[in-house]
Amino acid sequence: VLVDMLSGMAGKNRVIKHISFTPTIYKYLRLYRDAEQIVDYDSYTLNGEYPMLVMDLPLAEGQQCKVGFYNSSGATAAIEISVGYEEQG
């Protein structure tokens, strides 16, 4: 399941600096910029002390960022995802 997380708004560019989430077995973090897949990461490989994936991903005006999880187990669970970004211009 993917959701719209962030977009480059009119007159503003953004840079995604990190994604933070709860490491969970059988969950793969996925992030897309428009139709291009940027991240496909086994969330369980991050440890609980530093569950952060550092990035430097620019979003130009009009670009969309979608983020979510692929669940390989079939079990359902709510997972919080936090995205850190900076405004550019």
How does pLDDT run across 28-81, given as a tens digit for each residue?
888 999 999 999 888 777 666 667 889 999 988 888 889 888 888 877 777 788
| Alpha-carbon gap, residue 35 to 52, rounded angstroms | 23
| Alpha-carbon gap, residue 9 to 13, rounded angstroms | 7
Q: Find out whether 71 and 18 touch, Cβ atoms under 8 Å.
A: no
- In the numeric block, which tokens belong to residue 87? 């405004």
Arithmetic mean of pLDDT, 14-38: 88
Q: Find out whether 65 and 16 touch, Cβ atoms under 8 Å.
A: yes
- In the numeric block, which tokens belong to residue 20? 């933070």
